[in-house]
Amino acid sequence: MNCKEAHRVLCEAQDSKLSLIRRVTLRWHLSICDRCSRFRRQLEFLRLAARRYRDGGVE
Ligand SMILES: [Zn+2]
């Protein structure tokens, strides 16, 4: 898995479940790639922020 693929899989993981093989290859890539690890943290942060925003009942 290269970085481009990892990014795509990370984005897919936001709204659908990943197959086992994809989770494993993604985890492996993240363990060797700082850039994608950071990207994942950013996605997590955005997702949490969006949820907080929604739960806060703000338009
Ligand atoms: Zn990468």
Query: For residue 34, how far is its CA from the centre of ligand 1 (angstroms)?
Result: 7
Query: For residue 40, how far is its CA from the centre of ligand 1 (angstroms)?
Result: 10
Which is nearest to 2 in space by CA: 38, 21, 28? 28
Contact between 44 and 28 (Cβ < 8 Å):
no
Q: What is the pTM of this model?
A: 0.75
Long-range contacts of 46-51 (CB under 8 A, 24+ apart): 47/14
Q: What's the token pair of residue 31?
A: 């363990």
Q: What is the pLDDT along the chain (59 residues), one digit of tens a residue?
A: 999 999 999 988 877 788 999 999 999 999 999 999 999 999 999 989 988 888 886 55
**Would you state the pLDDT for residue 54?**
86
How many domains does the structure of the chain reveal? 1
Count CA within 13 A, CB hemisphere, residue 59.
Answer: 0
